[in-house]
Amino acid sequence: MALRRLGLMPSTFLVMALSFVVSFLSLHGQLRPWPATLPQGLLSLGIADELHYGPNSTARFSVDYGRLTEAAPAAVLYPSSPDDIAALVRFSYASPRPFVIAARGHGHSTRGQAFAPGGVVVDMASLGRGRRTRRHDRINVQLDDVHRIRYVDVGGEQLWIDVLRETLEHGVAPCSWTDYLYLTVGGTLSNAGISGQAFRHGPQISNVHELDVVTGKGDMVTCSRDVNSDLFYGVLGGLGQLGIITRARIAVEPAPERVRWVRFIYTDFGSFINDQELLISISSEGFDYVEGQLLMENGAAKNSSFFSERDSEKIKALAAELGAIYFLEGAIYYELATASLVDQKLKLLLKKLSFVPGFAFTKDVSYLRFLDRVHQDEIKLRPMGLWDVPHPWLNLFVPKSRMRDFETGIFRGILIENDTPMATVLISPMNKSKWDEKMSATIPDEDIFYAIGILRSATKGDWKHLDDQNDEILGFCNHAGIEFKQYLPHYTTQADWKKHFGLKWDRFVQLKRRYDPKALLSPGQQIFTTSL
């Protein structure tokens, strides 16, 4: 009767009520079928509101920067704190139906390393934008010059560009970087983190004092060189296999104000690498940053924010004449008060180098502008449709003693003879002494080795033949007996992984058995596919 007084028939009220329920449940995602690969008990956890599932929620986490493969997780966790991550891992570890878990930072992997097929991806960025979190809470600079204590505590989800900006406000900065700063701290420390400063300061993993880690059992562990040291050394360069980094304590040093940024062109490969090795052998008299690149005719100096249009044409003409040339890139850090000394230092260095006369180029930029240089190229490439495309990249560590063979067989062989499409080919010298052998990262067994990055962009239709070319490169190295190591490695068999880790393999397996015995973490690496 009451319904009729309101002008509503009972059936009409029922339809309205059901519509309300459907809308309410749809907002909360409960009408979508619960993923069959995940236990229903997950919904009873305190993190249920932060767990999203269904195609609309998981699509973004099914691809990465490489765009070479896809694999959908069953759900995505948006944690508000490291406790949420630990709760998720503990639940999976204790479940009769354990599921895999992968931490994802900026999604810059190229081979699905941060995928969790049928499992749960942890969106690490949520830690920095949670309801109870501000960025300053997750980047904390500590300076005590009396006790010589200088470091920054950083959330594993933080981007290096934000770490740089925050530390610069205190007049300090980490001393080892990556070329591209829009990567997460936890992501690069799980690999190594390299750039042109590594010859002097080592990779980023060599500059860490302490970590907070969520292990594959869901334990929250603080570790350092002195406390839980096996986990500390294992996680650094450990490809996410032993734990999820939620905090890192990183060494900092006084930050320079300015950078004298230089590039020198070479036509002779021997002179090019000899000069690189000279520069990494001298300390205060040399550069603070040293890298190099191969410039092929079809891509010489294109899309670079460094060279002027006139200089680009000059370099392009030289590359067209010779097929390929090289440039050595260096940087001198300085303060405004010492600018005149930089000119003298650079003049003395130029006398020691064997670049092509008339092909020395310089720029003077802020420290921030220099470190964020790749982002400037990104800004240029995105509108051209050359950023969000497939990236069949290959990164190798090659021993110094085989670089001439690599140049003949790969640079002037496979790449140039096959008229490889435009690519960035990095050639950066490293000192083995700056790497800590206790850490999980693997490098060649020579005092000097080179980081070679063959970084190519493709279209959806042509990336496979470039990937086949990567296989050809690896095949050449294997046939020639070049004892290389892959950086940002990609293997699909445990036999290949065992070869990759070499003498570190048995220890790595022991650590996996101790800290992630059910092989829950980072399944996209395809190292351990079953419980240990």
Of 157, 154, 156, the C-alpha closest to 174 is 154
95 CB burial (10 A radius; 0-12, 13-18, 19+): middle
Q: What is the DSSP string of 417-467?
A: HTT--SEEEEEEEEEGGGS-TTSS----SSSEEEEEEEEE---TTTHHHHH
Q: Which residue has the tokens 């969000």?
A: 388
The number of helix segments (H) and strand segments (E) in the chain equals 19, 19
Cβ proximity of 478 and 409 under 8 Å: no
| Nearest of 532, 527, 520, 519 to residue 491 by alpha carbon | 527
> Do residues 100 and 244 lie in contact, with contact meaning Cβ atoms separated by under 8 Å?
no
Contacts of 239 (CB under 8 A, 6+ apart): 113, 190, 191, 440, 489, 522, 525, 527
* Catalytic annotation, residues: 108, 179, 291
Query: Amino acid identity, residue 368?
Result: L
Cα separation of 276 and 271, whole Å?
A: 9
Walk across the sheet containing 208-215 and list its strands.
Answer: 139-144, 149-155, 243-251, 208-215, 220-224
Q: How far is CA 471 from the centre of its chain?
A: 22
Which residue has tokens 């930089």? Answer: 342
Contacts of 141 (CB under 8 A, 6+ apart): 151, 152, 166, 167, 170, 172, 252
Q: Residues 6 or more apart from 382 whose CB is under 8 A from it?
A: 388
Token representation of residue 423? 């690519």
- Residue 353: name the closest of 277, 431, 249 by CA: 277
Tell me the residue type at 65: Y
**Which of 118, 114, 191, 159 has the alpha carbon at shortest distance from 522?**
114
